[in-house]
Amino acid sequence: MSNDDYKTVRVYNETYEKLREIKYISKDNFVDILKKSIDEVHREIKHKEKR
Q: What is the pLDDT of residues 26-43, one digit of tens each?
A: 999 988 999 999 999 999
Query: Could you tell me if 47 and 39 are in contact, meaning their C-beta atoms sit under 8 angstroms apart?
Result: no
pLDDT value of position 1: 59
- Report yes or no on whether pTM surpasses 0.85: no
If pLDDT is split at 50, 70 and 90, which confidence band does 7 have? Answer: confident
Domain ranges of the chain: 10-50
HEC per residue, the chain: CCHHHCCCCCCCHHHHHHHHHHHHHHCCCHHHHHHHHHHHHHHHHHHHHHC
Task: Report d(CA 19, CA 33) in Å as an integer.
Answer: 8
